[in-house]
Amino acid sequence: MTVFILILLLILATVSAVYFYITKLSKDGAYSKLSSHLQDSNRLELEHYAKILAVMDEIDCAILSNASFEHVVGLLFSHVPSFIPCNVIAVAQLDKDPADPSSTLAATQDGKRHHLATGLDKSLKKILNEHANGYLVEPNETYASIAPLLGLGAKRILMLPLFRDAQLSAVLYLGFEENVQLVGDTRRISRYIADRLSVALTLVLREKSLYYQENFDEVTLLPNRRACRERLSFEISRAQRYKFKIAVLYISLDGFKKVNDATGYAGGDAILKQVGQRLQINLREPDLVSRFGNDEFVVILPNVTGTSGVSKVAEKLIEFLSHQFSYDEHQYFLNSNIGISVYPEDGLTVDLLIQNADTAMARVKAGGVERFMFHEANMNTQAISRLALERDLRKALNSNELFLVYQPQINLRNGKIIGAEVLVRWQHPSKGVIPPIEFIPIAEESDLIEQLGEYVRKMACMQYKTWQAQGIAPSRIALNVSSAELMRQAFTANFLALLQETGVHPSDIVLEITESLLLDVPGHVNTSLQHLRKQGMRIAIDDFGTGYSSLSYLAKLPFDVLKIDRSFLAEIDKPSANNEIVSVIIDLAHHLNKTVCAEGLENETQLEFLKARGCEAAQGYFLSMPLSVEAFEKFAIQNAQPKNS
Ligand code: C2E
Ligand code: MG
Ligand code: MG
């Protein structure tokens, strides 16, 4: 190696001397004379070495500037073929799983990159350990691990082992066409390149392990206190910008000291590891679990919407941590206490949020009754009452406490009934009638929305069929559907099956979807909506005007009816910008060939305004409150649409 470096230095010196001489001669106008004297082959050789040195310089610079291993490999891929006549270059990292396609990176003459899973045959491993300067695999030798490289067009392969701590850690492959002769210094230059690569790899790994030591806990392999604080700080800056809430859960284990004393440190470590795994299993991708200290863990839930979701996570974690832990054929039980702080209510900084979560955790420990608590006292009451409501709702779904009311939708041209919006109510055994606005969000955050939605649709369809049989059914009924339901792949098929079962035709239905859902509708939901429309069902955009749809986007959405949100109607009896907005929404819908239904019509002025602007339909207390079945039947008979309209 030293000899080789000396040779290279000598060549460099020669190149400089020749360059100096040439410049001098050219100044004297004598370059052409020298040029003719220089043997072509010598000049090419000098240029060749100068090029190699330049590339090596570039690689050294990249290594010194902490470039990634992939970047160093990329440099090789782009430069090496200009001084080594190879048609394939590959680098295999042996400490990666051989099935991992990123374990081997290869490049071919056409400049394409390939990720291969090569591994290394045992026999080749032995050979490479004995041939530190490289081994040339001739076409008559077959090894499974080089087959993928042969597939890329190499016939003879020079394998150069890379060692780290005296262990074979990677292999540099240079593939050649069959007739290429490896003349001159090719083998030595190849070895030199492999050495640079080895340095790069070692440095990158050392960096990685340093990073790992600084940011991860070695017992649980979870992010440590430092990483947790860094992540929280990042989430706070995002939350500031996008107005999110963040929850910080400070978890401490009760009784861990006893377990540690009984099992020794090895046992304690094993159980902490299991705790970390259980926490991880129960959280989603953007959440962070970290080991904060001895028996303390901190979980960050970025982008939470309210306290109920957070309490559910806390309940779930407590439940999972209460199951037995095993070590050395013995079982142990731990209790956990969780204190919760929420950004921005409980603090705007990392320190404050963690400190407040910690204080709340201490209160849980001291109280000995609740297993988790929010820092803010009224959040505890909110969380507890929401959890209680969820439990009651679960029961309500099985004990017929939900019932439906129907709000007539009126044709504004003739004042007759055109449809009915189905609205769900909950007759709570002790709290009386609860409006949907209080329990639909709870159903949406839990797994109850599907059952609730199916129940409402089934009752509504059966009722509609009865009215059809009695000859008093309005032209159609409008059903609200939650985005959580619509997102489920099976929604469309299940709904169409229900219609078939109850004998209701898809064209009898208007599906009301809130504007905010349609703003970000995934591909499969769009397809489902198109499919339902093909069957004759209408789609209405509910609460239009609250979701900030862009106009160009609106034109592409699969819908038939725009329902203007009632907030726009509220000020129609006074001069207000909202009057203009309502007019524009109506015109916009008509330009897009859609119809308009106004919601929340509460007085005559609004009615006259809407009629004058050509709005087709409306619903609201001025026309009718949402009605029970009996009241709706009377209303429908009195306001029946003439048969031929
Ligand atoms: P929405 O679909 O926009 O329903 C219209 C709401 O406006 C209803 O409230 C209705 O009672 C109310 N409303 C009607 N006319 C007037 C009026 O003149 N003035 C005022 N201030 N309000 C009026 P409700 O029944 O409390 O429903 C609230 C929301 O709950 C609904 O808004 C809908 O998003 C949701 N919802 C209701 N039933 C269901 C259901 O079965 N499934 C689903 N997923 N959501 C439902
Ligand atoms: Mg609605
Ligand atoms: Mg609405």
| pLDDT tens figures, 168-177 | 888 999 999 8
d(CA 402, CA 452): 9
Per-residue DSSP letter, 642: P
Please tell me the predicted confidence (pLDDT) of residue 382.
73
Burial of 11 (0-12, 13-18, 19+ CB in 10 A): middle
Please tell me the predicted confidence (pLDDT) of residue 550.
63
Residue 636 CA, ligand 2 centroid: distance in Å: 19
The two beta strands, 288-293 and 372-374, are unpaired
- Arithmetic mean of pLDDT, 601-617: 95
What does residue 543 show for φ and ψ, rounded to 5 degrees?
50, 40
d(CA 392, CA 372): 21
pLDDT above 90 (res 8): no
Residue closest via CA to ligand 1's atom 15 equals: 620
Contact of 402 with 425, CB cutoff 8 Å = yes
d(CA 465, CA 457): 12
Other beta carbons within 10 angstroms of residue 248's beta carbon come to 30
pLDDT one-digit tens code per residue, 221-270: 899 999 999 999 989 998 888 888 999 999 999 888 888 888 888 899 99
Per-residue DSSP letter, 484: H
Place of tokens 């009224």: 378
User: Which range has the worst mean pLDDT, 119-133, 140-154, 368-382, 461-475?
Assistant: 368-382
Please tell me the predicted confidence (pLDDT) of residue 465.
98
Residue closest via CA to ligand 1's atom 20 equals: 600
The two beta strands, 156-164 and 135-137, are antiparallel
Tell me the three state secondary structure of residue 21: helix
Q: Tell me the ligand closest to 618's alpha carbon.
A: 1
pLDDT above 70 (res 9): no
Residue 382 CA, ligand 2 centroid: distance in Å: 27
Contact of 423 with 407, CB cutoff 8 Å = yes
Residue closest via CA to ligand 1's atom 46 equals: 480
Q: Tell me the ligand closest to 570's alpha carbon.
A: 1
Please tell me the predicted confidence (pLDDT) of residue 264.
84
d(CA 298, CA 635): 58
- Arithmetic mean of pLDDT, 129-143: 88
Provide the CA 236 distance to its chain's centre, in angstroms: 18
pLDDT one-digit tens code per residue, 88-112: 999 888 877 666 666 788 888 887 8
**Two structure tokens written together for 78:** 């782009």
Contact of 566 with 622, CB cutoff 8 Å = no
Contact of 84 with 52, CB cutoff 8 Å = no
* pTM given for the model: 0.56
Length of the chain: 645
d(CA 220, CA 225): 12
Please tell me the predicted confidence (pLDDT) of residue 548.
60
Residue 553 CA, ligand 3 centroid: distance in Å: 20
Residue 599 CA, ligand 3 centroid: distance in Å: 6
**Two structure tokens written together for 236:** 């706070």
d(CA 229, CA 180): 57
Ligand 1 atom nearest residue 514's Cα:
34
Please tell me the predicted confidence (pLDDT) of residue 323.
92
Question: What pLDDT band is residue 37 in, cutting at 50, 70 and 90?
Answer: very low
Place of tokens 């209405």: 540
Please tell me the predicted confidence (pLDDT) of residue 598.
96
Ligand 1 pocket test, pick from 422, 423, 544 with the greatest ligand atom count within 8 Å of Cβ, gives 423
- Arithmetic mean of pLDDT, 562-585: 83
pLDDT above 70 (res 489): yes
Which DSSP string do the residues of 343-401 spell out, in sequence order?
A: ETTT-SSHHHHHHHHHHHHHHHHHH-S-SEEESSHHHHHHHHHHHHHHHHHHHHHHTT-
pLDDT one-digit tens code per residue, 324-359: 998 888 888 888 999 999 999 999 999 999 999 999
pLDDT above 60 (res 384): yes
- Arithmetic mean of pLDDT, 136-158: 89
Residue 437 CA, ligand 1 centroid: distance in Å: 8
Is the torsion defined by CA of 523, 524, 528, 534 positive or negative? positive
Helix (H) / strand (E) element for 566: namely: helix 566-569
Please tell me the predicted confidence (pLDDT) of residue 142.
86
pLDDT above 80 (res 50): no
Q: Tell me the ligand closest to 569's alpha carbon.
A: 1
User: Which range has the worst mean pLDDT, 88-92, 514-518, 581-585, 607-611?
Assistant: 514-518
Burial of 114 (0-12, 13-18, 19+ CB in 10 A): middle
Higher pLDDT, residue 162 or 118: 162
**Two structure tokens written together for 484:** 């959580």
pLDDT one-digit tens code per residue, 277-323: 999 988 887 899 999 988 999 999 998 887 878 998 999 999 999 99
pLDDT above 70 (res 45): no
Contact of 350 with 232, CB cutoff 8 Å = yes
Please tell me the predicted confidence (pLDDT) of residue 643.
60
Residue 619 CA, ligand 2 centroid: distance in Å: 10
Residue closest via CA to ligand 1's atom 41 equals: 424
**Two structure tokens written together for 121:** 């045959």
Ligand 1 neighbours by CB, cut-off 6 Å: 407, 423-424, 435-437, 440, 453, 456, 480-482, 512, 542-543, 566, 599-602, 619-621, 626
- Arithmetic mean of pLDDT, 5-15: 42
d(CA 486, CA 168): 54
β-bridge partners, 135: 159
pLDDT above 50 (res 21): no
β-bridge partners, 561: 540, 595
Residue closest via CA to ligand 1's atom 17 equals: 600
Residue 552 CA, ligand 2 centroid: distance in Å: 24
Place of tokens 């069929």: 465
Q: Which residue type, as a one-letter code, is found at position 46? A: L
* Cα 254 to Cα 124, 257, 259, 283, 328, distances in angstroms: 54, 8, 10, 21, 21
- Arithmetic mean of pLDDT, 569-587: 81
Q: Tell me the ligand closest to 485's alpha carbon.
A: 1
Ligand 1 atom nearest residue 601's Cα:
18
Please tell me the predicted confidence (pLDDT) of residue 446.
81
Residue closest via CA to ligand 1's atom 37 equals: 423
Tell me the three state secondary structure of residue 68: coil
Ligand 1 atom nearest residue 405's Cα:
25
Q: Which residue type, as a one-letter code, is found at position 156? A: R
Contact of 615 with 635, CB cutoff 8 Å = no
Ligand 1 atom nearest residue 481's Cα:
44
Residue 543 CA, ligand 3 centroid: distance in Å: 4
Ligand 1 atom nearest residue 424's Cα:
38
- Arithmetic mean of pLDDT, 155-165: 89
pLDDT above 50 (res 418): yes
Question: What pLDDT band is residue 520 in, cutting at 50, 70 and 90?
Answer: low
* Cα 28 to Cα 21, 36, 43, 129, distances in angstroms: 10, 16, 20, 56
Tell me the three state secondary structure of residue 421: strand
- Arithmetic mean of pLDDT, 144-152: 88
Q: What percent of the chain has pLDDT over 90?
A: 47
Residue 502 CA, ligand 2 centroid: distance in Å: 22
Q: Tell me the ligand closest to 436's alpha carbon.
A: 1
d(CA 527, CA 540): 16
Write down the mean pLDDT value for the chain. Answer: 84
Please tell me the predicted confidence (pLDDT) of residue 109.
83
pLDDT above 50 (res 467): yes
d(CA 340, CA 253): 15
Q: Tell me the ligand closest to 600's alpha carbon.
A: 1
Residue 480 CA, ligand 2 centroid: distance in Å: 5
Please tell me the predicted confidence (pLDDT) of residue 313.
93
With a CB cutoff of 8 Å and minimum separation 6, the contacts of 476 are 418, 419, 507, 508, 509, 510, 538
Residue 423 CA, ligand 3 centroid: distance in Å: 11
d(CA 323, CA 80): 59
Ligand 1 atom nearest residue 485's Cα:
44
- Arithmetic mean of pLDDT, 180-208: 77
Region class of 400: left (phi > 0), else alpha (psi between -120 and 50), else beta = left
pLDDT above 60 (res 11): no
* Cα 332 to Cα 251, 273, 282, 322, 335, distances in angstroms: 18, 14, 20, 10, 10
Please tell me the predicted confidence (pLDDT) of residue 422.
98
